[in-house]
Amino acid sequence: MEDFEGLLCTHWGHWSELEMRRLPRVALQAGQVRLRVRHAGVGHALSLLVAGKYQRKPPLPFTPGTEVAGEIIEVAPDVDHLAPGQRVMAALDWGGYAEEAVVTAATVYPVPDVVALAHAAALPITSGTVWAALSWRARLEPGETLLVHGAAGALGSAAVQIGRLMGARVVATASTAAKREAALRLGAEQALPADGQILPGAFKDAYPAGADVVFDPVGGDLFDASLRCAGQGARLLTVGYASGRIPQVPANILLVKNLSVMGFNYGQYIGWGLHDERQRHAPRVREAMDAVLAAVVTGAMLPPAITQYRFEHWREAVDATMSRRAIGKVILDL
Ligand SMILES: NC(=O)c1ccc[n+]([C@@H]2O[C@H](COP(=O)([O-])OP(=O)(O)OC[C@H]3O[C@@H](n4cnc5c(N)ncnc54)[C@H](OP(=O)(O)O)[C@@H]3O)[C@@H](O)[C@H]2O)c1
């Protein structure tokens, strides 16, 4: 196949202005791998990225999409640990919303046969972020109480599952009864309404000692409420602002309760930082991927929660993510 179908961003604007086009195949450079994309994850950052407001700006025109699973079509001559035909998942700089994608070998991970590729597409960035934030950054310990916001969303549902896997007692927050039920099915022991006014009282009634770790991909009022839910010495992970409001941190509360607020940016580990550090971090990221895959293979963890859409219905898929309707990770089937 000399050309293939994919979504193209030709100018900075609204995500609905993306266009489905025939795209030309380009030659591989050293260290690269060409994939047949079978599934691609839809991320919340898409709207910022195509508006030119994200922390990184790809050169126009470009195809968005950073998290995929599929098979390897071709590897560059210097890539010796991967081979055509292998089932893999990958974290990309961009280019995932297309039938073919080119990716650096450092962020391509083999997928065991028993793991469906549709589920694997929710692992490289979504589960990677959660594993790294809880393990490397917050150092979550068995028996600790973990409060997870947006617990039926992509990161949040993974945080419920991985928090449980790490031995924590997980308390979820979500905005609807259906979302709270989804969080309970994934292993949360309690699911509370995502209401910043009600949450601190409800949480402290059930957990008087407070949360040890908070995983917050939502920000806004829920971040403020987290400061009140936090126990002495708690660690608060700020990983995203799906609510649209970036919270401010009152330092006096940190002092009184011995709290640590921890920022976490997974992009730093997969080559999206100011300096490209993907090679340096590749062994550590690979270990995290192996741990998550092993948990799915052994049944210690359910496969990631996903909602699937056919590629031609990409507008509905993106809209479900942006309008807060989606449960789990939204996946495009190519
Ligand atoms: N730091 C990192 O390395 C990293 C990595 C990946 C993603 N992120 C960021 O993390 C955030 C969450 O990503 P995600 O993939 O988990 O998104 P998602 O699947 O859309 O989930 C976000 C959750 O936020 C809640 N929410 C509250 N107000 C919302 C609003 N106005 N619109 C949409 N959702 C709202 C929703 O839960 P309720 O309805 O239950 O309130 C929703 O389920 C995004 O900002 C994303 O860019 C950060």
Q: Could you give the percent of the chain with pLDDT greater than 70?
A: 100
The predicted-structure confidence for 169-206, as pLDDT tens digits, reads as follows 999 999 999 999 999 999 999 999 999 999 999 999 99
Backbone φ and ψ for 299, nearest 5 degrees, come out as 85, 5
**What pLDDT does residue 1 have?**
54
Span 77-97, average pLDDT: 97
* Residue 218 Cα: closest atom of ligand 1: 24
Answer yes or no: is 203 within a domain: yes
**Mean pLDDT across the chain:** 97
Q: Which residue's CA is the nearest one to ligand 1's atom 18?
A: 153
Find the CATH number of the domain harbouring 152: 3.40.50.720
- DSSP-assigned letter for residue 171: E
Average pLDDT over residues 305-324: 96
The three state secondary structure string of 247-293 is CCCCHHHHHHHCCEEEECCHHHHCCCCCCCCHHHHHHHHHHHHHHHH
* Ligand 1 centroid from CA 222, angstroms: 12
% of the chain exceeding 90 in pLDDT:
97
284 is a domain residue: no
Per the CB < 8 A criterion, the answer to whether 7 and 58 are in contact is no
Residues 192 and 241 in one domain: yes
Residue nearest to atom 36 of ligand 1 (CA): 150
Written as six digits, the tokens of 73 are 């079509």
In sequence order, the β-bridge partners of residue 216 are: 238
Residue keyed to tokens 């972020």? 129
User: How far apart are the CA of 155 and the centre of ligand 1, in A?
Assistant: 7
Listed residue (99, 101, 97) closest to 318, CA to CA:
97
| 93 and 220 both lie in a single domain | no
> Which residues form the domain of 229?
126-266
* Chain segment 239-263, per-residue pLDDT in tens: 999 999 999 999 999 999 999 999 9
SS3 content of the chain, % helix, strand, coil (to 5): 35, 25, 40
Pairing state between β 87-91 and 108-110: antiparallel
Contacts 24+ apart (CB under 8 A), 286-290: 286/109, 288/128, 288/131, 288/132, 288/135, 289/89, 289/109, 289/123, 289/124, 289/128
pLDDT per residue over 20-52, tens digit each?
999 999 999 999 999 999 999 998 899 999 999
- Of residues 122, 114, 137, the one with CA closest to residue 296: 114
For position 2, what pLDDT does the model report? 77
Residue 165 has pLDDT above 80, yes or no: yes
20 and 51 assigned to the same domain: yes
Given a cut of 80, whether residue 223 has pLDDT beyond it is yes
Ligand 1 centroid from CA 196, angstroms: 16
Q: Which two tokens stand for residue 129?
A: 């972020």
Does residue 287 form part of some domain?
Answer: no
Ligand 1 centre to CA of 41 (Å) is: 14
What's the DSSP call for residue 29?
P
pTM: 0.97
Residues 118 and 130 in one domain: no
Q: Helices 199-206 and 220-229, interaxial angle, to 10°? A: 30
Element of type H or E holding 206: helix 199-206
Ligand 1 centroid to 15 CA: how many Å? 17
Quick check: is 214 in a domain? yes
Residues 130 and 168 in one domain: yes
Distance 28 CA to ligand 1 centre (A): 34
- How many structural domains is the chain composed of? 2
Distance from the alpha carbon of residue 219 to the mean position of ligand 1, in angstroms: 9
- The reply to whether 290 falls in a domain is no
Interval 118-164: pLDDT, tens? 999 999 999 999 999 999 999 999 999 999 999 999 999 999 999 99
pLDDT of residue 44: 86
Q: Do 151 and 221 belong together in one domain? A: yes
Residues with C-beta less than 6 Å from any ligand 1 atom? 43-45, 125, 129, 150, 152-156, 174-175, 179, 194, 217-218, 239-244, 264-267, 321, 324, 326
Helices and strands: H and E segment counts in the chain: 10, 15
Pocket test for ligand 1, best of 42, 44, 135, 319 (most atoms within 8 A of CB): 44
Shared domain for 41 and 118, answered yes or no, is yes
